[in-house]
Structures are given as structure tokens and as C-alpha cells.
Amino acid sequence: MNIAQAKCIPLVSYLERQGLSPQKSRQGGRELWYHSPIRDGDENPSFKVDTVKNLWFDHGAATGGTILDLVRELFACDVRDALAHLDKTGLYSPALASPTTSSKISRGASRRSDAGPKKPAAAGEKEKSWAFELVSSGPLQHPALLQYLTKRGIDHDIAREYLSQIDFKPPHSVGKYFALGYPSGDGFEARNALFKGFVGTGKAVTFHDKPEASVLQVFEGFMDFLSYLSKDAPSQPVGAVLVLNSTNLWRRALPFLDDPRFDEVRLYLDNDAAGDASTRALFENAQNAAKLADMRSYYEGYEDLNAWLLGKKGINFLFYFSKIESNNLS
């Protein structure tokens, strides 16, 4: 992928892939506003995407640019690594001859903007929210979701312990969808065979504490965590568990990594440019980097833990897990 091709990827589609949904819209959908992905504490969405120019600007950080500038900001990488990361997303298509919005949300907004003159907004009218709305959540039982987990190699009993079945709907829609739901901040990471996104209003890392744990295990996503548990051993986490839910939330992991009760922190991130950048950032910003261990060599050759699990070539990794579990029990 070259720079010109990368700049054709719609920012809205990329942010959607990262689990970020616009919180409000202006100018008939031309401007979409998000909670900033490059800094913490952005309670009032101040990260603007111009869907026509395909540019972003963070008013809190006073910086902006193209999709390449955003990736470099998120992952502290150079242009070459940013291009490699964007290439792996699969979001580029030759049909994208020029920047355009491609998500269902922004297309809908564009159609509304072409429908004719708008009535002036009433004084005090709130901005429309574009976050997916949670309708209900309950026990995991739908056959289609269980079949999806089977294809991903995930044990159903383990999945039921950590996942819910959620119903959700796009804004201003009467139709609803169902998916696996994993708790994340003020909402759920949502997955099914056709959808990957976030349902709710505020994404965050997810912490599973374990009394008296001296080890913290950090996973990039919940599917990696469940893959770890679904292999023959161990059947339970060795220590406490932190799931980032997105590599751009790595800064929020630092307070957990710096907790003095954890003598060792094991990082299970992806074997890709984003995983490289996030792992490097955690090592560089942790107060005591000496207690961090990069575990990715145990699934080298696979993009992530789930790919390793499905590859059924985890002999060395399984041996290492078994050794850890034996040491933990002794």
C-alpha cells in the first residue's frame, strides 16, 4: 500500500474498525464527533472527522491530519509501519478513487443532507447521538453465536462465564441485531460472524481481578483471552487479567501495570505493527519495565492467540502454560 492509497481509506471506517463510534453529528452528517482516541479524559467529544475531506482534528490536543497522521499518533510509529498496519485492515479498495465515507452511519447522514433544506434546530436541541444502542443483554444461548465460537475454537462453557448475548440497534432504527457481548466501560465489545464493533457510550479496558494475584496477564482483545483459556491448559487465568479491547487504549493499562502488588506482567498482544507499537509503548512508559514480559514469541508465526489456537500448533506454548501452572500450584 502506498501513501495515496492509504489516504483513500475513510477515517470513519477505520475508527469503526477500532471500536469507536461517533457521538454526535453536525452539518447534516459532514462532521462526526468522537471521544478522542489519542488522549484520555475527553468526556465531551472533541475529536472531529470531516467526512468530505477525510481529515480529522482533535481540538483538545490541537492537532490533526490524514489517516496516516492518526495511525502514527495512535501507535507511535513511522509512515512505513502505519502503511503496513492500514494494509492489514483490508479497508482499502481500488474503488476508493478519492476519500469518501463508507460506513452505514455516514452514508445515511449524507443521504439526509441531500434530501433538501433542513428545518432550523430548535433552541437547546441536543446533538444526535450516533452510538449503537444496547437493547438488552442476557445469557449466551443463540445457536448462531455458539456456532461462531466453535469456528473460533472457543470453549462454550468458558465463553458463557465471560460473555453475554446482547441485542442492539443502530441509532434511529427500529431493527435490532444480536451479538456476543464482552463488558467494556459503559458498553460491550460486540462480535458475531458479520459484525465487529462497540455498543455503548464509553469504551475502556476490562480488568478481571484475582485475589492475592502477583501476576497480571494483559491481552489485546477478549477473543485472545478466551483463546488462552480454551486450550488444554490452563483452564483458568494464572493471575489477574487485563483486556485492552483496543491497542489505542494502552495508556489506560499503565495504572494496572504499575500496581506494586504485581511482580510480573505478561503481555499477549498481536504479532503485527499495532502490537509491536503498543508493546513498545508499554515498556517505555511503565514505571518498572523490568517486570514486563513480551509473550508473543510463544505464538510466533501467528497473528494472534486465536490464530495460534486454530492453527493447532501450540506445543511449545502449551508446555510453557503447563509449566507456569505447575509453578503456580507448587
Q: How many residues does this entry show for the chain? A: 330
| CATH numbers and ranges of domains, the chain | 3-113 (3.90.580.10), 133-200 (no CATH), 206-329 (3.40.1360.10)
pLDDT of 101: 36
Q: How far is CA 43 from CA 34, 46, 130, 201, in A?
A: 10, 8, 16, 10
Name residue 33's beta-bridge partners: 24, 48
Among 107-116, 132-141, 301-310, name the one with the lowest average pLDDT.
Answer: 107-116
Give residue-wise pLDDT tens across range 163-186: 999 998 876 666 788 999 999 988
Sign of CA dihedral 66, 71, 76, 78: negative
Select the more confidently predicted residue: 252 or 124. Answer: 252
Among 19-23, 277-281, 323-327, name the one with the lowest average pLDDT.
Answer: 323-327
pLDDT of 122: 32
Looking at every residue in the chain, the average pLDDT score rounds to: 81
Residue type, 190: A
Supply the pTM of this predicted model.
Answer: 0.61
pLDDT, mean of residues 244-258: 90
Give residue-wise pLDDT tens across range 46-73: 999 999 999 999 887 778 899 999 998 8
Q: Which residue has the cell 441509532?
A: 171
